[in-house]
Structure 1
């Protein structure tokens, strides 16, 4: 009797889990869409950075504002240029 009761409980739990599977799939897809929208919004976020004044200047620096994607692109380009210079060394043309 106890064994039959535990089988019935397990079966009802399994059916409940299967019935909730489409809802879980929809929630997962919705969360993925929100994550991709969040990434797009984050890359469009505008960040302002303070540029130091030129050496010898008594006038303060200035703020430069760009999107997060632009700042990342500039950083990537600068890193690539430095790596290229380190690879080639001080070669003259």
Structure 2
């Protein structure tokens, strides 16, 4: 797992990251550890999105955080009946 972290910390370009991820995936396959199969498959299915990180080293963490706040706010009121009022409250609280 440290090697995967190192790829994200040290790779300077998409090309380098792509090559390093490919080598990491090959090494994971060769080890035969089934515990890594889930993460290896996730990386294989989403490698294009994952590699976008290396364009300007930004993530969608802030958007995910905001989405979690909206879900928590909605859950607090056990559903939404009036969408317009919900959006109004949302903009007043989080804007």
Higher helix share: 2
TM, length-normalised to structure 1: 0.29
TM, length-normalised to structure 2: 0.29
Q: Looking at both structures, which has the greater relative contact order when contacts are Cα pairs under 8 Å and sequence separation is at least 6?
A: 2
